């Protein structure tokens, strides 16, 4: 990680934990918002007006949080409005790296080698992990926001004039229900699998793993009565958040993160739901199983020899 703008030597991707061995995720620190007129959003400063060609996304295809933003960009048909660069899937001693792994690429915007250089470019004294996604402003030459939940929301609401698709991922009449479901899915599933995988006590692991499957069971039932999506006919940001975890589950979380009471393949409705979303125009392009497997199984703290399993078939 970066400390006062300097990359720490011998960095290992070991995550922070509390006194009982529970995984603790870092809070995102760049929280400005792109808005239609450039006024300030719910957090951060004003000055980031929605414009075609002005903003750039940095993502990793292994990363569920970054993949949320890629999905929102696809669903809103913003491909020609917001450019993207993809890092390699394997975390190096210096964090995310741009390069030639198939499906990844060079940093075409700033020409750096490591993601942490984008952070110090924006803030020479930055302290924290150099995470993806990052939404970068080419005009002001800085990071707008590095929190996927914010980025999904602003791609949905601020690019009305440029979006090729009018689909509303956060309709006003569902907002409070979406917020509540998002919160539940985040704690027990999106971040829940990480809590299980990075737990450093048996109790923390079991607590997280049980919560993961309780939520999967609930959602399997919910889809039976409400489908095709979590809120019926209307696909929302809750579906994006659920999908990115489901699509990684059998390949990474089931084995590496020890979430192995059941697979998604064992849940008929969740499996159909996942395939239904995967079939939406452009979504399959945001999912790269080679990146997902290579990336997760390269986490040395969990898999010291870096062996990547052959399955699932
Ligand atoms: N709050 C962030 C979390 C992003 C995040 O944790 N990204 C991971 C990849 S899945 C990362 O970049 N990790 C690098 C690190 O921890 O150093 C978001 O949702 O945007």
Report the atom number in ligand 1 closest to the C-alpha of 27: 1
Q: Phi/psi at 35 (nearest 5 deg)?
A: -130, 165
Q: Looking at residue 191, what is its pLDDT? A: 97
Q: What beta strand segments (E) does the chain contain?
A: 2-3, 6-7, 16-17, 23-24, 55-59, 82-86, 134-137, 142-145
Q: State if residue 89 touches ligand 1 by the CB under 6 angstroms criterion.
A: no
Q: How confident is the model at residue 9, as a pLDDT? A: 66
Phi-psi region for residue 102, left (φ > 0), alpha (ψ -120 to 50) or beta?
Answer: beta
Q: Which domains are assigned to the chain?
A: 2-157 (3.40.30.10), 172-280 (1.20.1050.10)
Asked whether 235 lines ligand 1 (CB < 6 A), one says no
Rounded to the nearest angstrom, the distance between the alpha carbon of 233 and the centre of ligand 1 is 31
Question: 131 alpha carbon to ligand 1 midpoint, in Å?
Answer: 4
129 lines ligand 1 (CB under 6 A): yes
The response to whether residue 147 sits with its C-beta less than 6 Å from ligand 1 reads: yes
Nearest-atom number in ligand 1 for the CA of 26 is: 1
Does the C-beta of 246 come closer than 6 Å to ligand 1? no
Choose the catalytic residue: 55, 58, 63, 209.
63
Give the per-residue pLDDT at 267.
98
- 259 catalytic? Reply is no
Give Cα 304 distance to the centre of its chain: 24
Residues lower than pLDDT 50 in the chain: 14
pLDDT at residue number 103: 98
Instruction: List CB contacts of 203: < 8 A, sequence separation 6 or more.
Output: 20, 21
Separation CA 87–CA 291 (nearest Å): 10
Residue 62 CA to ligand 1 centre (angstroms): 10
- Tens of pLDDT, residues 256-289: 999 999 999 999 999 999 999 999 999 999 999 9
- Establish whether 119 is a catalytic residue: no
**Distance separating alpha carbons of residues 106 and 104, to the nearest angstrom:** 7
pTM, whole model, 2 decimals? 0.95
């Amino acid at each position: 990680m970066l400390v006062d703008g300097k990359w720490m030597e011998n960095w290992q991707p070991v995550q922070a934990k509390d006194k009982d061995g529970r995984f603790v995720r870092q809070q995102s620190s760049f929280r400005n918002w792109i808005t239609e007129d450039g006024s300030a959003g719910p957090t951060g400063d004003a000055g980031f007006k929605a414009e075609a060609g002005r903003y750039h996304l940095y993502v990793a295809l292994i990363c569920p949080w970054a993949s949320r933003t890629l999905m929102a960009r696809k669903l809103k048909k913003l491909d020609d409005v917001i450019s993207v660069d993809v890092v390699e899937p394997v975390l190096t001693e210096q964090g995310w790296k741009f390069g030639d792994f198939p499906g990844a690429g060079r940093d075409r915007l700033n020409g750096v080698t490591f993601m942490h250089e984008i952070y110090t470019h924006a803030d020479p004294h930055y302290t924290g992990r150099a995470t993806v996604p990052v939404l970068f402003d080419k005009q002001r030459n800085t990071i707008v926001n590095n929190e996927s939940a914010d980025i999904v929301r602003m791609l949905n609401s601020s690019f009305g004039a440029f979006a090729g698709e009018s689909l509303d991922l956060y309709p006003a009449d569902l907002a409070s229900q979406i917020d509540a479901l998002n919160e539940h899915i985040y704690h027990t599933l999106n971040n829940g699998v990480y809590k299980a995988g990075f737990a450093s006590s048996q109790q923390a692991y079991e607590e997280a793993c049980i919560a993961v499957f309780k939520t999967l069971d609930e959602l399997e039932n919910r889809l039976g009565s409400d489908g095709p999506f979590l809120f019926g006919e209307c696909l929302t940001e809750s579906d994006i958040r659920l999908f990115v975890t489901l699509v990684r589950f059998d390949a990474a979380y089931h084995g590496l993160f020890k979430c192995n009471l059941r697979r998604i393949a064992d849940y008929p409705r969740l499996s159909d739901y996942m395939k239904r979303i995967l079939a939406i125009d452009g979504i399959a392009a945001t999912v790269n199983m080679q990146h997902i497997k290579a990336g997760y199984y390269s986490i040395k703290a969990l898999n010291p020899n870096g062996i990547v399993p052959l399955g699932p078939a």
